[in-house]
Structure 1
Amino acid sequence: MLTTTLFESVFNRSPFGHYLLSPTPDATILAVNDAFLKASARTRDELVGVSLFKAFPGDPADPADVGEASLRDSLAKVRTSSQPDTLPAIRYPIPIVLPNGETIFEERFWTATSTPVFGADGELLCISHSNIDVTDQLKSEAALRESEQRLREADRRKDEFLAMLSHELRNPLAPIGAAAELLQRTTLDEDVLARTSQIIGRQVRHMTALIDDLLDVSRVTRGLVELDQALLDVGAVLHEAVEQVTPLIESRGHSLALNLPPHGTQIQADRKRLVQVIANLLGNAAKYTPDGGRLGVNAFGRDGWLCIDVLDNGIGMAPELAARAFELFTQAERASDRSSGGLGLGLALVKSLVELHGGVVACDSAGPGQGSRFSVCLPGLHAPPVAAPAPNEQPASTAAPLRVLVVDDNVDAAVILSMLLEANGHQVQVEHDPLEALEALDATLDHPPQACLLDIGLPGIDGLELARRLRARPGTARALLVAITGYGQDSDRQQILQAGFDHHLVKPIDIAQLYALLDGAG
């Protein structure tokens, strides 16, 4: 009755797992199709004639396993109501016997439908049971929900970051604008003029630091940063990092305890980047610690690794914030005046730079108000070597003044730069159009410029083409060519040097660096 050729053909060709059960409480397996045998990794001899609950017992080690109980209840409902019943996505571990005889359970999820099968006289002959494995579907749905949640969170933090960036960049523009208005007045004493200049300088440095952070994160996350590694004195690196943060620490009245490894301990690392990492962590601690707080830097060696802990007794972190402290755009709560914090880039940059060195980072906090500890561990620690002799002092510069050509279509920038150069003794010619600059050089063939400071984004021809033409002229073929530009990517630098420039300075430039370049050309 149950084994006709037509029934077996349809039963076995179904892509879903099917088996027929006796209408008795023990639910003996009467027949099973090929799809279920494949899914359960069993044979017909192992299943047919055996109680379903003996063939597939629940996991006795897992009290949360309710698959067997749910299935018993469902089959009992079918027997008493003579109506189909479906169990949506029940958890049902599949036992797997290993070659060594050990049984393990693979967690699977099934939608199970039990349907009564009646004879011509209305008698319940058996229960047809079908299983559809939805494990992969459920996992995909869970992964999709998790991914959607991560995207929503990333989008929220991105929006917060853009709002923060707008605020942080507008903040320094206000005093710069006010200072510009003040400088237009004709009756300014030297004290007011000096303070106004200092305000502009501080705010420009602040804006430059924000932009540098953005560019650094972009370069590091895209794998465009190459480390310039050398054997470094750990104590000197830490002192340099502390020096950078000292003004902030002193302004907030913090005390700092600095514990160094033995004198002469060295690490193989990139000096600039390692200083950046420690200064970033220490500055972060200073910002999020109320005035008069305590900070600490502990450096020690462990099994060939250098470990550096930066500690504070500041605002601390909740566990959920500590868990994602090194993620991009993450930052703690800040006061309404935004006197603390930044763009949420610093710790993400720290993590990237440390991992670039092959190291690891971590942070922990006992909770809000309980302070924080940030830890950095780097490989490549070296035992203290014999102290090296102190380097000779460099002689003071005695370079002669130069004839300098400045070409920049930003009139204010060109004028300010020429004033700085003239204050340092140089003779400066300013042009705002590159073609007019070339014409002006034709009129002064006997006294060509010895150095040319060129903007790149110029009207008519750009600074790259202007540099090529200057190199082609006898009078300026050997002149010092310095690009002064807002284009600061590595690809920009390569293109600039290929055009014939000797140096590439990114706006706002370091004037001391420019003076040094001109001194070297004198």
Structure 2
Amino acid sequence: MLEVQRSLMWRYKVSIFSVLLALLPGLLLRSLNVDVDISLLFCVAVVFSSWYSGLTSGLFAIVLSLIAIYFFVSPINLLGTSHISNIPNLLVFCGVALSINWLISKRKQENASVLDLTKRQQVDKVLAQEQANHELERQRLRAVLDILPVGVFISDSKGQLLENNSAARAIWGDSAPLVEEVDQYQNYKGWWANTGKPLAAQDWALARTLATGEAVIAEEVDIETFDGQRKTILNSSVAIRDKTGTIVNAVAVNVDITDRKQVEATLRKSEAIAKARAEELEIFMETVPAAVWIARDPHCHHMTANRAAYELMRVPPGSVMTATPPDGKYTFPCKIQKNGQDIPLNELAMQQACRRGQAVEAEFEFIFDENDIRYIYGKAVPLRNDSGAVRGSIGAFLDVTDRKQAEAERQQLMSLLHQKQEWLDLAHAAAKLGCFDWNLQTNVNIWSKELEAIYGLQPGEFGGTYEDWAKWVHPDDLAKAVAKLDRCWSARTSEFFTDFRIVKGDGSLSWLQVRARIFYDDAGQPWRMVGVNIDISDRIQAEEALRRSELMFRTLADTMPQLFWITQPNGYHEYFNQRWVEYSGTTLEQAQGNGWQHIVHPDDVERTKDIWQSSLRSGKHYDIEYRLRRALDGEYRWHLGRAFPLREQDGSIVKWFGSCTDIHDRKLAIEERAQALERERAARIELEKANHMKDDFLAIVSHELRSPLNPILGWAKLLRMGNLDSKKTTQALEIIERNAKLQARLIDDLLDVSRILRGKLSLSLSPVDLVAAINAALETVRLSAEAKSIKLLLQLSSDALKVEGDCNRLQQVVWNLLTNAVKFTPEGGQIKISLEKVGSQAQIQVSDTGQGISPDFLPHVFDRFRQADNATTRKFGGLGLGLAIVRHLVELHGGTVRVESLGEGMGATFTVLLPLIPTVSQTSTSDRKLVSSCSPNLNGLRIVVVDDDIDSLELLVFILKQYGAEVTSVNSASEALKAIARVKPNLLFSDIAMPEMDGYQLIQKVREMEVFQEEKLPAIALTAFAGEANHQKIISAGFQQHLTKPVDPAELASAIAKFMVTPVQPLTTSH
């Protein structure tokens, strides 16, 4: 049935009631902080009003909803400029609400057309009326839609676009099509604003609402309109359902937010800029070296400040930074004054800027204490609000203490500069120096008045061009000066100087020196030249005089016999004369500086440097004697070095002048004289000592020679008496033989010492087997050892140890050591003889258990004529020569001897080291000689013996025959010549001192007889004449060997056997 018409008032009451029902819950939920869209509640109110009371009631409900939203829903004053971003939401609400109202009204009209058939006509009439009303409402809706600022699209349930308003056409273009289905939505181009991904047909809000029935609210989409423009819209959609809930229509609302997006972008950019400016300001405030205050109120009660301000005030950050706080308490640690007077706090710069409303500059002082004052300069400007009223001030202040001090210093410097300028002008005049400034491009040359005076011109008389200058220059110097200037320009040299002459107006010449700086333009062309001209005429004259003086000086220095040199005050040697160059063999350049030191003797260098440096430091005269190497022969010669400083009037040293005088010969003479005096003194002491030793020695010699004579003479006289039995006779002969040998040995020792003292003792060198030599020496002392029951221990190396030496002398060394050991070893003692190889040497050791040697006497054991004490001399006898002879003989063989003893009563050990010769595998000729010399065998040897002393002759004959020789004896030289011719001997044995014809004449005759013979008769002289002079005379006469009487039979046989191995070579060292 048809719905009953309700009264107009009732319909409006329903609308008011429904809007209130929507408003109150919404406000309640908002008060409870529940985020709810109240516009949806108002949509419900509009739906209810439209459904219940029709289109008019719905429109009235829409108006009421807008009024409620404007006055009661936050944000208030929705249409204000500050809330412009919410207007699209309001427009969407209006569009949706109008669409709903229209659709419900239409639906109600359609429902009314199907009412009771009985009322068809009435219904038709009503429908006609309704259609008219519907058309009217449609037109009204169209009008409402067209006045909406948002684009509205209305579709049916299949997606066919039924309506769009003018705003939609303005957004999309007038050619925007009303498509018939959802798939055709692809004609509308769009992209998701947040991702840039294009929208498909089904992605549009209207399509999704038709598909799901869900409303889509304010999706941001970038679109391309049908006229090619790019825009950004907010796209929303909502479904319209019938009573059964079926979607019959859908409404899409597009809000063009392109301008808003641009505004937002501009706003974001502005905000970023504002933020950056704020950060920059903050950084500026913290980094600016000025102290900055900002007052937040016109009374400057509250201020903020930067770090520099806190540092300037010397207070910690966060402290009160105003001089006029609200409580009136002044907290700064200093006084604020100007020119010594306190400044009232309300008269400070920032306070004045606030009070006057204009900028204020100020200078004042911070007085921290009387010695700590800081000068401050600053400026303050007022800050104003929107109405122009002063709301505070800002001030920036600098500590200008340093600048103040610099200003004071500058004033002082300016005053000084002015004074200096006056002095400079005076100096220019006094130094005859003038300035010029020459523009090379315009040829304008500006001269100072001093320069004009130098050229003999009046002030202002100079023409001011190059040509005006050139006419004054001497013709011979102009071309050279110009050429040199051209070379500077070509080489882009900035410095120029040269000397030239000028011809003044009166015809006089002056020497000038120009020193200038050349300036070049960007193209490298010279454009300006600034410099000075100096009148150097006096200097040129002085240099000429100096040159002549220097020439004279150098000529004098080079002709001096001394080595002459000059140094700078710091000791740098800059000059040496020609004599030095010739003496040292170095050039002047090589000797300069410290190059002279290399000719100083290495032992004198450090001392020379120390004394020289001391003179340099103290300024005292340099005086030293040192040795300098002469290049000619490399000889170091003594020189006397002396140097004196040349001083200025103020005492400062200008130069050092020194010389080296050759004092070598004089110093050698002095040293020789000193050495002679020392030698004389030492000789005198030695002579006194020798005289004393001679007296002692003569007493000893007398005692030692007389001691063996006593038993010899005594027993000989007893033997002559014939009263001795055979046993006593044998004993007497042994005693006589032993003492005779002792006396002979004493005489041999004296002769050997004599040769040693005169350096005449020499060796007959050949390879010597030390084992054989030691055994031979041992045999000579064995009887003496056995007589004292001394045990002899022999420990000899099994190796053949051979040395290059004299067999007899080496036997003598061992014999002396053994004799000494037997002498000082008590009865029942022990003597050990050992021979071993130690490295490349043979070591012979003789150790005994005898008396030993005291530590005090140990260093003097090998001295001549030295014995431990008189008691020893008296107890043991001897001359004290044996060990001295041992040392000398060992050293002649290239060896060493040493003695060791733990002290008296501890025995002694003598050690001899002799260099070994390389061992050979086969027995050589030298080996055979060694064997023959140490093991005498004279079998078959024919010997002629001549001696005028019958006793000696018979003794010799007997000895030689004992060793197997065939001996022919004669007692005169003439008979000897006959025997030689008759016997043809292998050896001549001759005495020297003989009557009528001595041994020298005999050997001369023998050698004359051998003139035409290839082989020479070997000859040995046996005589009582000892000494080196007799030995040399005998050898020179023609003898090959010299033996002295008395002679030991074994030694005689050994000497002959050794000699006969090489009969043509003289053996000159067996004495």
Q: Classify the TM-score, shorter chain.
A: 0.5 to 0.7
Q: 1-side partners of 2:677 and 2:936: how far apart?
A: 67
Query: After superposition, what is the alpha-carbon deviation per residue over 1:408-464, rounded to whole angstroms, capped at 9, x for unaligned?
Result: 2x5765677688899999786656xx7xx77x999x9x9999898654334555443
1:432-447, aligned counterparts within 5 Å?
A: none
**Residue 203 and residue 399 in structure 1: after superposition, are their counterparts in 2 closer, same or farther (change >3 A)?**
same
Q: 1-side partners of 2:617 and 2:1055: how far apart?
A: 87
**Residue 257 and residue 375 in structure 1: after superposition, are their counterparts in 2 closer, same or farther (change >3 A)?**
same
CA contact (8 A) 2:715 2:736 kept: yes
CA contact (8 A) 1:331 1:341 kept: no
**What one-letter code is carried by the residue in structure 1 that aligns with 2:793?**
A
Q: 2-side partners of 1:322 and 1:517: how far apart?
A: 40
Deviates more, 1:447-456 or 1:359-368: 447-456
Q: 2-side partners of 1:507 and 1:195: how far apart?
A: 24
Find the residue that maps to 2:856 and give its secondary structure. Answer: helix
Find the residue that maps to 1:214 and give its secondary structure. Answer: helix
1:228-239, aligned counterparts within 5 Å?
A: 228-239=764-775
How far does residue 175 in structure 1 lie from its aligned partner after superposition? 2.1
Q: 1-side partners of 2:956 and 2:746: how far apart?
A: 23
Aligned to 2:865: 329
Aligned to 2:617: 46
TM-score (norm 2): 0.31
**What one-letter code is carried by the residue in structure 2 that aligns with 1:182?**
L
CA contact (8 A) 1:161 1:344 kept: no
Deviates more, 1:353-362 or 1:184-193: 184-193
How far does residue 288 in structure 1 lie from its aligned partner after superposition? 1.7
Query: Over the residues paired in the alignment, what is the CA RMSD in angstroms?
Result: 5.1
**Residue 287 and residue 365 in structure 1: after superposition, are their counterparts in 2 closer, same or farther (change >3 A)?**
same
**Residue 386 and residue 496 in structure 1: after superposition, are their counterparts in 2 closer, same or farther (change >3 A)?**
closer
Q: 1-side partners of 2:680 and 2:610: how far apart?
A: 25
Aligned to 1:486: 1024
How far does residue 339 in structure 1 lie from its aligned partner after superposition? 4.7
Aligned to 1:397: 939
Q: Which of 699, 712, 724 does residue 163 from structure 1 map onto?
A: 699
CA contact (8 A) 1:363 1:372 kept: yes
Aligned to 1:318: 854
Find the residue that maps to 2:898 and give its secondary structure. Answer: strand
Q: Which of 813, 820, 823 does residue 284 from structure 1 map onto?
A: 820
Q: 1-side partners of 2:991 and 2:938: how far apart?
A: 30
**What one-letter code is carried by the residue in structure 2 that aligns with 1:46?**
R
Find the residue that maps to 2:816 and give its secondary structure. Answer: helix
Q: Which of 501, 507, 511 does residue 1045 from structure 2 map onto?
A: 507
Q: 1-side partners of 2:794 and 2:870: how far apart?
A: 27
How far does residue 326 in structure 1 lie from its aligned partner after superposition? 1.2
Q: 2-side partners of 1:240 and 1:248: how far apart?
A: 15
Aligned to 1:79: none
How far does residue 322 in structure 1 lie from its aligned partner after superposition? 0.9
How far does residue 251 in structure 1 lie from its aligned partner after superposition? 2.1
RCO greater where, 1 or 2, for CA within 8 Å and sep 6 or more?
1
Q: 1-side partners of 2:919 and 2:810: how far apart?
A: 19
Q: 1-side partners of 2:919 and 2:959: how far apart?
A: 47
Query: After superposition, what is the alpha-carbon deviation per residue over 1:170-215, rounded to whole angstroms, capped at 9, x for unaligned?
Result: 1121122223323433666655554444333322222211111122
Stretches of structure 1 that go unaligned for 5 or more consecutive residues are 1-36, 50-135
**What one-letter code is carried by the residue in structure 2 that aligns with 1:347?**
L
Q: Which of 869, 872, 876 does residue 340 from structure 1 map onto?
A: 876
**Residue 449 and residue 224 in structure 1: after superposition, are their counterparts in 2 closer, same or farther (change >3 A)?**
same
Q: Does 1:273 align with 2:809?
A: yes
CA contact (8 A) 1:482 1:504 kept: yes
How far does residue 406 in structure 1 lie from its aligned partner after superposition? 5.0
Aligned to 1:180: 716
Q: Does 1:377 align with 2:377?
A: no
Q: Which of 189, 197, 222 does residue 758 from structure 2 map onto?
A: 222
Q: Does 1:351 align with 2:880?
A: no
**Residue 369 and residue 189 in structure 1: after superposition, are their counterparts in 2 closer, same or farther (change >3 A)?**
closer
How many residues get paired?
A: 387
CA contact (8 A) 1:284 1:341 kept: no
Find the residue that maps to 1:226 and give its secondary structure. Answer: coil
CA contact (8 A) 2:773 2:810 kept: yes
How far does residue 274 in structure 1 lie from its aligned partner after superposition? 2.2
Q: 2-side partners of 1:215 and 1:316: how far apart?
A: 28
CA contact (8 A) 2:861 2:883 kept: yes
Q: 1-side partners of 2:912 and 2:945: how far apart?
A: 48
Which has a greater percent of helix? 2
Query: After superposition, what is the alpha-carbon deviation per residue over 1:328-387, rounded to whole angstroms, capped at 9, x for unaligned?
Result: 111223647835252111111111111112222222322222222222222236469689
**Residue 275 and residue 187 in structure 1: after superposition, are their counterparts in 2 closer, same or farther (change >3 A)?**
closer
1:408-427, aligned counterparts within 5 Å?
A: 408=948, 413=952
**Residue 240 and residue 426 in structure 1: after superposition, are their counterparts in 2 closer, same or farther (change >3 A)?**
closer
Find the residue that maps to 1:488 and give its secondary structure. Answer: coil
How far does residue 486 in structure 1 lie from its aligned partner after superposition? 0.9
Query: After superposition, what is the alpha-carbon deviation per residue over 1:375-411, rounded to whole angstroms, capped at 9, x for unaligned?
Result: 22222364696899998999883679x9x78552x57
Query: After superposition, what is the alpha-carbon deviation per residue over 1:268-314, rounded to whole angstroms, capped at 9, x for unaligned?
Result: 33332222222222221221222222322343333312233322232
**What one-letter code is carried by the residue in structure 1 that aligns with 2:714?**
A
**Residue 264 and residue 317 in structure 1: after superposition, are their counterparts in 2 closer, same or farther (change >3 A)?**
same
Percent identical among aligned pairs is 34
Query: After superposition, what is the alpha-carbon deviation per residue over 1:141-166, rounded to whole angstroms, capped at 9, x for unaligned?
Result: 99988776655444433332221111
**Residue 372 and residue 154 in structure 1: after superposition, are their counterparts in 2 closer, same or farther (change >3 A)?**
farther
CA contact (8 A) 1:264 1:387 kept: no
Q: 1-side partners of 2:945 and 2:1034: how far apart?
A: 18
Q: 2-side partners of 1:425 and 1:268: how far apart?
A: 33
Query: After superposition, what is the alpha-carbon deviation per residue over 1:211-231, rounded to whole angstroms, capped at 9, x for unaligned?
Result: 111222222343333333344
CA contact (8 A) 2:936 2:1054 kept: no
CA contact (8 A) 2:938 2:1053 kept: no
Find the residue that maps to 2:857 and give its secondary structure. Answer: helix
Find the residue that maps to 1:225 and give its secondary structure. Answer: coil
Q: 2-side partners of 1:472 and 1:297: how far apart?
A: 51
CA contact (8 A) 2:801 2:916 kept: no
Find the residue that maps to 2:718 and give its secondary structure. Answer: helix
Aligned to 2:637: none
Find the residue that maps to 2:837 and give its secondary structure. Answer: strand
Q: 2-side partners of 1:248 and 1:199: how far apart?
A: 12
Q: 2-side partners of 1:427 and 1:176: how far apart?
A: 31
CA contact (8 A) 1:314 1:372 kept: yes
CA contact (8 A) 1:157 1:330 kept: no
**Residue 157 and residue 365 in structure 1: after superposition, are their counterparts in 2 closer, same or farther (change >3 A)?**
farther
**Residue 384 and residue 254 in structure 1: after superposition, are their counterparts in 2 closer, same or farther (change >3 A)?**
farther
Q: Which has the larger radius of gyration?
A: 2
**What one-letter code is carried by the residue in structure 2 that aligns with 1:237?**
A
Q: 2-side partners of 1:195 and 1:338: how far apart?
A: 25
